[in-house]
Amino acid sequence: MVGSGGREHALAWKLKQSPRLEALHAAPGNPGIARIGQCHPAHAEDAESLLALCHELEIDLAVVGPEAPLVAGLADTLRHAGIAVFGPSAAAARIEGSKTFAKDVLEAAGVPTAARLSVARPPCVVKADGLAAGKGVFVCRTQEELDAGLRAAAALGEDVVIEELLEGEEVSLLVLTDGREAVPLAPAQDFKRIGDGNSGPNTGGMGSYSPVAGLGDAEVEELVDTVHRPVLAELAHRGAPFAGVLYAGLMLTDDGPKVLEFNCRFGDPETQSILPRLEGDLLEALEGVAGGRLDGSVAAGDRAAVTLVLASGAYPERSDDRGTPIGGVEEAESTGALVFHAGTARHGEQLVTNGGRILNVTAVGDDLPAARAAAYDAADRISFAGLQYRSDIALAAAEGHVRS
Ligand code: AMP
Ligand code: GLY
């Protein structure tokens, strides 16, 4: 397992349940993953060290969590050395790595997306072209927001894309794919803004839930037919077949679904709500993708899951809170909730903060209201200086107000 966030902890936790797993190694991992596998101090973006580690440990399957190493070609490096990898090539990962490339592919594939605008005029959305950890997108309804958005995007030193502002309900729909077959995972909703009521700046994601009302198996199949399958065919046609997990961020507008973005990896924090609902053997499915023969079931059970992101006080402006002592994790776990580590470290026996998004608390329940109540009950037991989390994750959905 390559990576160190809450998504990687959730993946490791689920992989650990497979009877096929012999040993789990993570690079670099985190204190949560260290409880279920062995962590090694190799950076996720240091392909040479990771390759050496794979050889030394005789790794049978490398699972790459984050986008940056994929966009930089880690999967190619490992694959060329004969190691089975779950994760797309650099050529296919451009679907996330470049917003202009993604737009070109969408347009060529005839998949609905926000129109590109040649003039920046509110309302519109300003996007920095390259990877920005969810922080390169500025939704501008006023001229002031537009001026600020253009300045902030320019400061990232990337080309800028301007597009139409879409309104509607957002949903994240991920498919596992070996480049040919596409098998959907349960749809999830993510909460991008830092503040309650979707206020404040965009973040990497402050919470998630699954399932999403109105998106049953038939609706999901239709979305995959409209969005993922044409894009996979277009990427293959361009000589960049995509194998791994293709994540579509969709806006369900009055004119139908439109693509906001693609990611070339599992969503964070969507994965933390998707995997606890998954009934099949994840390891078998990921091995199938890596081997070009996707099989195994990734169907979700009937229960619901809600994930809360516990962030440091300065997030998202800063993601470098370090060394602040964290308390209450065991009390939270004693409620039956899952606590995934996202940005933590250990100083001796003491768990401390190490990042912006620090912990993820996930609870599963018979329905969304039950899962939501359990997630908040567990999260309320955790404390550290500056701790912030949204109080309205999955609230509208639990009250039955999510339209789709
Ligand atoms: P992205 O990284 O492109 O998904 O953008 C991050 C977030 O910005 C999305 O999840 C949406 O909440 C918002 N967003 C992006 N593009 C648009 C758009 N065209 N219209 C409205 N909101 C958008
Ligand atoms: N939660 C949004 C993302 O993973 O990009």
Same-domain status, 7 and 66: yes
- CA-wise closest residue to 293 among 189, 134, 183, 185: 183
Is residue 340 situated within a structural domain? yes
CA of 210 to the centre of ligand 2 (A): 14
pLDDT in tens, 82-125: 999 999 999 999 999 998 899 999 999 999 999 999 999 999 99
Containing domain of residue 159, as a range? 116-163
Is residue 106 situated within a structural domain? no
pLDDT of residue 128: 83
Is residue 235 situated within a structural domain? no
Res 354 pLDDT > 60: yes
Is residue 96 situated within a structural domain? no
Contact 31, 341 (CB under 8 A): yes
Q: Which atom of ligand 1 is nearest to the CA of 164?
A: 19
pLDDT of residue 404: 43
Determine which residue's CA is closest to atom 5 belonging to ligand 2.
267
279, with CB counted inside 10 A (0-12, 13-18, 19+), is exposed
Same-domain status, 83 and 149: no
Same-domain status, 12 and 79: yes
Same-domain status, 66 and 125: no
Average pLDDT, the chain: 95
pLDDT in tens, 169-216: 999 999 999 988 999 999 999 999 999 999 998 899 999 999 999 999
DSSP characters for 222-254?
HHIIIIIHHHHHHHHHTT----EEEEEEEEEET
Res 402 pLDDT > 80: no
Q: pLDDT over 70 for what percent of the chain?
A: 98
pLDDT of residue 357: 97
Ligand 1 pocket mutation pick from 95, 163, 251 by most atoms within 8 angstroms of CB: 251
CATH of the domain at 335: 3.90.600.10
For the chain, what is the domain count?
A: 3
CA of 249 to the centre of ligand 2 (A): 8
- Three-state DSSP at 147 gives helix
Residues with CB under 6 A from ligand 2: 134, 190, 205, 263, 267-268, 270
pLDDT in tens, 269-298: 999 999 999 999 999 999 999 999 987 678
Is residue 196 situated within a structural domain? no
Owner of token pair 């996930």: 362
Cβ(134) to ligand 1 under 6 A?
yes
pLDDT in tens, 43-86: 989 999 999 999 999 999 999 999 999 999 999 999 999 999 99
Q: Which ligand is nearest to the CA of 252?
A: 1
CA of 201 to the centre of ligand 1 (A): 12
CATH of the domain at 129: 3.30.1490.20
Distance (Å, whole) CA 380 – CA 361 = 10
pLDDT of residue 296: 66
pLDDT in tens, 317-351: 999 999 999 999 999 999 999 999 999 999 999 99
Average the pLDDT over 221-228 and give the result: 97
Same-domain status, 41 and 120: no
CATH of the domain at 82: 3.40.50.20
Q: Which atom of ligand 1 is nearest to the CA of 190?
A: 10
Q: Which atom of ligand 2 is nearest to the CA of 7?
A: 4
Spatial neighbors of 57 by CB under 8 A, at least 6 apart, are 23, 25
Is residue 291 situated within a structural domain? no
Res 403 pLDDT > 70: no
Same-domain status, 71 and 127: no
Determine which residue's CA is closest to atom 9 belonging to ligand 1.
260
Q: Which atom of ligand 2 is nearest to the CA of 269?
A: 1
Same-domain status, 38 and 82: yes
Cβ(139) to ligand 1 under 6 A?
yes
Is residue 276 situated within a structural domain? no
What's the start-to-end Cα distance of the chain, in Å?
A: 35
